[in-house]
Structure 1
Amino acid sequence: MSNTLTYDDLGQILSNLQSKLADYRKKEANALAIFNEFKQVAERLQSGIYRYDVKTHRFHFFNRSIIELLGSKGADASEITSKSVLLRLHPDDRERVRREAKEALERGIGEVEYRFKKSDGTYRWLYDRWVVLRDLGNQPRYIEGIVMDTTRRKVAEEKLKESERNLRSLSSHLLDAQEKKWRRIALELHDELGQNLTVLKLQLRSIQKTLPPDQSHLQGKCEGANRYVDQIIENVRRISQELCPTCIEDLGLDESIAMLVEDFALHSKLIVSIETQKIDSLFTLQQRTMIYRIFQEALNNIQKHALARKVWIKIERKKKAVDIQIADDGKGFVRDRNAEENVVKAGLGLTAMEERARMLGGTIEVFSIVGIGCRLAFNIPITAGERNDEFLSYSFG
């Protein structure tokens, strides 16, 4: 059999090659059209996009926005190199960007926000996010990413943070002013109203003694008035104590909390179980007062809103902090800021506790299930003090 090609065979091969060439040119034209369309879209983007060659350390592609972000207005693409970009990073951000870029080569994806120096000497915040493309040997080959100017957002965030700091400061001052006002009112109640009630009681006793024996009905009224005055004196003492807990100075925080819980159980008719370690020596007087106020607010909320039957309290001394948990088996609530009823009933009391916990350098977590109950968990860092691991457990009600 002969292997010689005939003119017909050569014609057929040539026809096939021409057909494949036409098909290739058609695909090339389609690819070019797609690339041009992509390029037009890329040029219209306000965010910058780029492709960087890991081996040659050169940018293969970037749109006009990246030139304006990393170069300067009217700049040429040749101005932008990996070295020029690195040199114009803020000195405080440079090492962080280096570290993130190195780690991203392993992960395959990276993102970082940094300050970039413009040609006029000002810094802009840029957010850079990229993916790493690998070659057939699974080695990093290209980096494709997007860069966005986030300066406005950063400025807005900083203004918001400053506003929050100012609000926190104002809130702290208001709580301090409130504490001083309560102390003044408590002293006035104790010194003025308390003394006046004592004088009134003595005068009633004096009147009662001058009554003749046959005025038994007046004797009874005087005795009843005296009992009523005693009740008012006790209420004044209790209100004064709630406004200004002087027992903290006299008895310490541990005993003051025990008295508060006992009084709460007596007036609320709830069963209260408490398990505690001594923490009085761990905090300053001001800190002890704030912790006492947290307990007051928490128990007051339970009495007013929870519809509970039982309350559990645990105070545990950890290595660097004190954990406080106050739980009830009441109706619970949903912290919905859009629901006015919940804001009034739960939000305001919790806000006061959150602020006091923040002033103590601590945190508060709220766990609540409607129909099951609520648990407040406070974590308050210890500034100084002695350690005592002994637990004391007792119940009221």
Structure 2
Amino acid sequence: MTETRFKPPALCHRCLFENASDAIWFYDRNGHIVYANRASAELTGYTRTELKQKNLKDLLTTASEYDQIMDINSRIASGEEVKMPYEQKIRRHDGSIAVLRMATTLVKSADEVLGFQNIARDITEEIRRQQNMKSFVQDVIRAQEAERKRISRELHDEVAPLLLLLMQKIDNLSKQSERDIADCKPQLDALRSQSEEALESLRRIAQDLRPRILDDLGLIPALEWLTEKLAQDGQIHAESSIKGREVELTAEIQLLVFRIAQEAFNNIRKHSLATWVRLELEFKPKAILLTIQDNGKGFNLSEQTDNLAQNGKLGLAGMHERAQLIGGHIHILTHPGQGTTVIAEVPTVSTDIKQAS
């Protein structure tokens, strides 16, 4: 296609085109770049003259990416609605990779398709910051889990035996003759009762920090135990079910799925006013689906996921972060007066998981 047929931007728009902060370029149906503004040259590292000698495929990192863009262009030309903007990688003149947020529009003359216009913004640093923040959050969660495990182990192995020993000594004292202990018997009984309460509280705290059943028996018994524990309060009818063929899960997937369920149950107990809760764990070919449904009061969920923490919904934000840590995602369905459903979908195989222990 000649440059004379592919007319440059109209004179009244040339100033906007040339001085736009976003990169804008035009290319014909075969991908040959015809026009590019100054921001395009700054973004790619090529001069504008060099860009006009390039085909779009020269800027892309793989041949498959060129095929994908041609497919997008074909769909746009046929009138199909295509979601915009989309992310696209390019290779700069110096060999570095840039990530662009890009939108494509059709360029026509009468009924003839001349080519396409791209408007692109460099989001490489934005993506890098997001990845760094995600990595930081993941490290915090892993450190938190490791600390929980350490505290739980120390409570179980060091503090609990001391309380048991104290209770045994109280029992031994109580077995002495009534004449010797008549004056202090009520105090001994009260002391033993307090020791029993302290031991029970310690065991409960240790279980909540790092349930032994999860490490010893696995995810399914741990979720069933969690459901039974919720039902023991007497105010909520809780039930659980397992669907599909169970597959082996990594220790971290089991741990973080359990934490998602635990946080959902905590929210139900504290805020929902629910009288009925159902937990379902479904094994699919390449993922597991955890669904927790209640008949509570529900709530308005208008915030974006990124805004949950700053708006005080730390529990929901924590569930999202834990799901993302193992390559999954969370859906929350809720409305005032209609209960809440939390759905966590997690891949059963992850290639980028570190142990959180």
TM over 0.5: yes
Structure 1 residues 382, 211: closer, same or farther in 2, change over 3 A? Answer: same
Question: Is 1:43 equivalent to 2:14 in the alignment?
Answer: yes
Q: Which residue is 2:239 aligned to? A: 273
Matches of residues 190-229 of structure 1 in structure 2 within 5 Å?
A: 190-213=156-179, 218-229=184-195
Which of residues 288, 298, 318 is equivalent to 1:332?
298
- Distance in 1, Cα, partners of 2:344 & 2:96: 44
Which of residues 126, 142, 152 is equivalent to 1:160?
126
CA contact (8 A) 1:275 1:314 kept: yes
| Structure 2: segments with no counterpart, 5+ residues | 1-8, 19-23, 351-357
Question: Is 1:129 equivalent to 2:129 in the alignment?
Answer: no
Question: Is 1:347 equivalent to 2:313 in the alignment?
Answer: yes
CA contact (8 A) 1:308 1:328 kept: yes
- Distance in 2, Cα, partners of 1:287 & 1:122: 35
Write out per-residue CA displacement over residues 210-231 of structure 1, whole angstroms, 9 at most, x where no aligned residue.
2525966743442333233122
Amino acid at match of 1:86: N
Question: Is 1:283 equivalent to 2:249 in the alignment?
Answer: yes
CA contact (8 A) 1:305 1:345 kept: no
Amino acid at match of 2:59: H
What is the CA-CA distance between 1:250 and the residue it aligns to?
2.2
Write out per-residue CA displacement over residues 110-146 of structure 1, whole angstroms, 9 at most, x where no aligned residue.
999785978x9999978552244455xxxxx352754
What is the CA-CA distance between 1:235 and the residue it aligns to?
1.4
Question: Is 1:89 equivalent to 2:65 in the alignment?
Answer: no
CA contact (8 A) 1:211 1:219 kept: no
- Distance in 2, Cα, partners of 1:40 & 1:269: 73
| Structure 1: segments with no counterpart, 5+ residues | 1-37, 136-140, 385-397
CA contact (8 A) 1:252 1:280 kept: no
Q: Which residue is 2:207 aligned to? A: 241
Q: Which residue is 1:361 aligned to? A: 327
Q: Which has more helix, going by share of residues?
A: 1
What is the CA-CA distance between 1:88 and the residue it aligns to?
7.6
Question: Is 1:231 equivalent to 2:197 in the alignment?
Answer: yes
- Distance in 1, Cα, partners of 2:232 & 2:149: 25
SS of 1:316's partner is strand
- Distance in 1, Cα, partners of 2:254 & 2:243: 14
CA contact (8 A) 1:330 1:371 kept: yes
- Distance in 1, Cα, partners of 2:258 & 2:343: 15
CA contact (8 A) 1:335 1:346 kept: no
Write out per-residue CA displacement over residues 45-104 of structure 1, whole angstroms, 9 at most, x where no aligned residue.
32668797x8xx999xx98959x869956x6xxx997xx342783253544444445555
CA contact (8 A) 2:227 2:239 kept: no
Amino acid at match of 1:222: L
Question: Is 1:143 equivalent to 2:114 in the alignment?
Answer: yes
Give the TM-score taking structure 2 as reference length.
Answer: 0.73
What is the CA-CA distance between 1:348 and the residue it aligns to?
0.6
Amino acid at match of 1:159: E
Amino acid at match of 2:291: Q
Give the TM-score taking structure 1 as reference length.
Answer: 0.67
SS of 2:277's partner is strand
RMSD: 4.1
Structure 1 residues 122, 201: closer, same or farther in 2, change over 3 A? Answer: closer
What is the CA-CA distance between 1:276 and the residue it aligns to?
2.0
Structure 1 residues 297, 87: closer, same or farther in 2, change over 3 A? Answer: closer
Structure 1 residues 88, 232: closer, same or farther in 2, change over 3 A? Answer: closer
CA contact (8 A) 2:26 2:115 kept: yes
CA contact (8 A) 2:231 2:237 kept: yes
Report sequence identity in percent. 23
Q: Which residue is 2:270 aligned to? A: 304
Amino acid at match of 1:235: S
Aligned pair count reads 322
Q: Which residue is 1:319 aligned to? A: 285
Write out per-residue CA displacement over residues 350-387 of structure 1, whole angstroms, 9 at most, x where no aligned residue.
12111221222222100111122111011122239xxx
Amino acid at match of 2:229: D
What is the CA-CA distance between 1:191 and the residue it aligns to?
2.2
What is the CA-CA distance between 1:275 and the residue it aligns to?
1.9
SS of 2:178's partner is coil
* Larger-gyration structure (1/2): 1
